[in-house]
Amino acid sequence: MKKLAIYIHIPFCVRKCLYCDFLSAPASDETREQYVQALCREIREERKSYVNYKIETIFLGGGTPSLLSGEQLDRILGTVFDAYQVADDCEISMEVNPGTVTKEKLKAYKRAGVNRLSIGMQSAVEEELQSLGRIHSSEDAFDTYELAIKTGFNNINIDLMSAIPGQTIESWKESLKRILDLEPAPAHVSAYSLIIEEGTPFFEKTPTLPDEDTEREMYKITNDILSEAGYLRYEISNYAKPGFACRHNCTYWERGSYAGFGIGAASLVEQVRFSNTRNLKDYLGKYLKNATVAIKENRQELSVEEQMEEFMFLGLRMMRGVSAGKFSDLFGKTIEQVYPGIVEKYCRQGLLQKIPEQGSGEVRIALTERGIDVSNVIMADFLLT
């Protein structure tokens, strides 16, 4: 059977953060319940499209999925298990925001099948959390982590954000140190730089941010500290203890098939990209009142050139890089034929490297440490259209 990842979008939050451009907003208990009902119906109705697939990973993102009750989450995952063929070792991840869960909730999530949590800490420094508009304190985040460990979760990611208002190199080191001092230390760390997005309060009035050199130094420090602590950087911004890389996110970077459910959720299936409507009223009308509205939008059948582009610029985010042999197998041409001189140019500059694949005689092409600093420039050179 073919492999499939499932993404489920929960678009609700307590309050929008100042930097957030995700599809999310506060909502009443009634609206959240209506959404869960509609979501379950969408999942059931779409099963006919995926009868030849086995579900390898499920990811509940948002928004704040942990605003859902244990019973609501159980209904959602129960619908997936009833309607689809789910692998015995399916990775089931859920985003959790500090201050929105209890031990009882976490137990219910675990019973429902969740086996991986992603805690949105962002910073362990109070002033930095306040500058981001987060609803929680650092102690809330540590308490949530401790509750999760006591509940039996051993695959936990912590999200951290660098280059945020008021942050210094020393305060960034403090955040890293505090999460590494946890017992046990988290299995996974995602460390992203703040990006100011249009339509957010930060875009309307940009706060004072660390300068570019400081941001670059934070990035280097992250790799140094986490590597010394036994984490492997497997993607530009993601670190994991051995065996704990996020399989769901790797599906995105390796261009595997994934189906998105809920408003705004994106899908890539058989080289076709599409997404759901971002209009909550239309979504609820479709699945609760049988309204004749188009839910699936932005359908795009990817050309071979677009597939090649994505193979390169998504794959190069992974530290293992891209397989030259797989590129040739998929597209009937070598990377050199499609991108003449580009790989060699960056290899000469020390920004890309060729790594022999054991036992195959093929090579992988990957960013070097220096190449990571200018990865956006390099990846732009692999655009064809």
- Taking residues 290-304, what's their average pLDDT? 85
Other CB atoms within a 10 A radius of the CB of residue 329 amount to 10
Helix, strand, coil content of the chain in percent (nearest 5): 40, 25, 35
Query: In which band, very low, low, confident or very high, does the pLDDT at 127 lie, cut at 50, 70 and 90?
Result: confident
Q: Which residues on neighbouring strands pair with residue 25, listed in sequence order?
A: 12
pLDDT of res. 293: 72
pLDDT in tens, 91-105: 999 999 998 999 999
Greater confidence, 130 or 327? Answer: 327
With a cut of 90, say whether residue 253 has pLDDT above it: yes
pLDDT in tens, 28-69: 899 999 999 999 999 999 999 999 999 999 999 988 999 999
- Taking residues 202-216, what's their average pLDDT? 81
pLDDT of res. 361: 76
Distance CA 329, CA 135 (A): 49
Q: Give the start-end residues of each E strand in the chain.
A: 2-10, 53-62, 85-96, 116-122, 156-162, 188-193, 232-235, 238-240, 258-261, 266-269, 272-276, 296-301, 322-323, 352-356, 363-367
Domain 2-252 has CATH 1.10.540.10: no
pLDDT of res. 19: 61
With a cut of 70, say whether residue 23 has pLDDT above it: no
Percent of the chain surpassing pLDDT 90: 76
Distance CA 290, CA 191 (A): 42
pLDDT of res. 206: 74
With a cut of 70, say whether residue 17 has pLDDT above it: no
First to last CA, the chain: 33
With a cut of 80, say whether residue 18 has pLDDT above it: no
Please state, rounded to an integer, the average pLDDT across all residues of the chain. 92
Collapse the DSSP code of 211 into the 3-class scheme (helix H, G, I; strand E, B; otherwise coil) and give the result: coil
Domain segments of the chain as ranges: 2-252, 304-380
pLDDT of res. 359: 73
Greater confidence, 252 or 208? Answer: 252
Query: In which band, very low, low, confident or very high, does the pLDDT at 160 lie, cut at 50, 70 and 90?
Result: very high
- Taking residues 208-235, what's their average pLDDT? 93
With a cut of 90, say whether residue 196 has pLDDT above it: no
pLDDT of res. 13: 78
pLDDT of res. 20: 63
Distance CA 85, CA 91 (A): 14
Greater confidence, 62 or 266? Answer: 266
Q: Please give the angle made by the CA atoms of 354, 356 and 359, to the nearest 5 degrees.
A: 165
With a cut of 80, say whether residue 134 has pLDDT above it: no
| CATH architecture, domain defined by 304-380 | Orthogonal Bundle (1.10)
Percent of the chain surpassing pLDDT 70: 96
Query: In which band, very low, low, confident or very high, does the pLDDT at 346 lie, cut at 50, 70 and 90?
Result: very high
- Could you tell me the pTM of the whole model? 0.94
With a cut of 60, say whether residue 89 has pLDDT above it: yes
Other CB atoms within a 10 A radius of the CB of residue 30 amount to 8
pLDDT of res. 311: 97
- Taking residues 177-187, what's their average pLDDT? 96
Query: In which band, very low, low, confident or very high, does the pLDDT at 207 lie, cut at 50, 70 and 90?
Result: confident
State whether the Cα torsion 323-327-329-330 is positive or negative. positive
